[in-house]
Structure 1
Amino acid sequence: MSGKGYQTLLECRRRGFHLRGHGFTVDQIAIVLSLDHDVAPLRLYRYAAGLTAAQAVATFNALESTGAAPLRESRLYEYESWPESGRRPPARVLRLLAQIYGTHPAQLLAAETQATYSSGDQELLRV
């Protein structure tokens, strides 16, 4: 992780820990963090949950039960960079990441980005 990205993560983790101590939810913490950091929602929610990429990937792989190839940190970073770059995260991945982060899957994407998914995938993101 680059120096600036790591510093952002540390700041967000510190601030998130403080806000959780005051009873803020992950969704509320993500809103607060978004005021100071121009980060895509998927990465912002990982930060709001206080997780490193390694922690998120380890939890994802422990919970993933479809037999798909394990998630790697590099792929998580690609998902977090989309749509500016990287890869589009599948709806099933977003659902599991939302579970890990303690939010609803639709929160992990901007509304205009959600609209690029098929109607079936959009339904998965709403459930």
Structure 2
Amino acid sequence: MSGTGYQTLIDCRRRSRYLRQHGFTIDQIATILALDHPATPLRLYRHAAGLTATQTVNAFHRLADTAGAELRESRLYDYENWPKAGRRPSPYTLHLLARIYGTQPACLLTPAMLATYAPRDQYALRRTDA
């Protein structure tokens, strides 16, 4: 991680810990972090949850019951950089990441990002009972 990226993570972890202690939800924290950090919602939610990429990948594999081929840190970074660079995450991946971060899958995307998915996937990502 670059020095700037690491400092951003440290700042976000500190702020999110403070905000969680004061009763803010992960969704509220991600919104607050977005005011100071120009990043995709997917990255902001990871920071709001106070997780490193390694911690996120490990949690992903526990939920998916996989041994490591499903998601690597480099792929997580690709997802977090999309749509300007990187790759678009699958709906399945977004569902698992949302569970890890304590939010809904659609919250991990901007409306423009959500619009790139097929209508049935948009519906599944917006569902709150999944």
TM-score category (smaller protein): over 0.9
**Root-mean-square deviation over aligned CA pairs:** 1.4
- CA shift at 1:69, angstroms? 3.2
Matched residue, 1:59: 59
Residues of 1 paired with 2:68 and 2:8: CA distance? 31
Contact 1:92 1:124 in 2 (8 A): no
Q: Tell me the equivalent position of 2:92.
A: 92
**Given the superposition, is the C-alpha separation of residues 32 and 10 from structure 1 closer, same or farther in structure 2, using an over 3 Å criterion?**
same
Q: Which runs of 5+ in 1 are unaligned?
A: none
Distance 1:106 1:43 in 2: 14
Deviations 1:6-49 (A, max 9, x none): 10000000000000010000001011111111010000000000
How many corresponding residue pairs? 127
Q: Which runs of 5+ in 2 are unaligned?
A: none
Q: Normalization by structure 1: what TM-score?
A: 0.96
Distance in 1 (alpha carbons) for counterparts of 2:7 and 2:27: 21
The aligned residue for residue 13 of structure 2 is: 13
Q: Match for residue 107 of structure 1? A: 107
Per-residue Cα deviation, 1:52-73 (whole angstroms, up to 9, x for no partner): 0000000001110489932100
Aligned to 1:118: 118
1:49-108 residue CA offsets vs partner (Å, 9 max, x unmatched): 000000000000111048993210000000000000000000110010000000010000
TM-score (norm 2): 0.94
Divergent runs of 4+, >3 A = 65-69
